[in-house]
Amino acid sequence: MYDIVWPTWRDYLIAESRMETLDTVFQSIGGAGTSRDNYLRFAHSYLSIVWPHLKSEVTVKEDTSEELIMELFAILRAKIERALS
């Protein structure tokens, strides 16, 4: 599902500069008033549940922070919700 809604999501973890952030995604889907905290709480739970299984399939820089991974999951959630609405 991630590949369908955001085909380049894997590149996000190794890119030197990111074109999309959680805020820019909210702006692009018309969700400027959307609570970042709700999406980040969801992402935090995914960090411990899903990330250990995905990590082997994704190229990640050694110094990639948990915050960056959580932002990735929050963006994916927003894009999935938008695609399903």
13-62 tens-digit pLDDT: 887 777 788 888 888 777 666 677 888 888 999 888 988 888 888 888 77
Domain that holds residue 65: 2-84
Count structural domains, the chain: 1
Quick one: pLDDT at residue 34? 67
Apex 69 CA angle, 63 and 8, nearest 5: 100
Rounded CA-CA distance 4/8 in Å is: 9
**Residue 40: other Cβ atoms inside 10 A:** 16
Confidence (pLDDT) at 32? 60
Write the Ramachandran bin of 25: left for phi over 0, alpha for psi from -120 to 50, otherwise beta: alpha
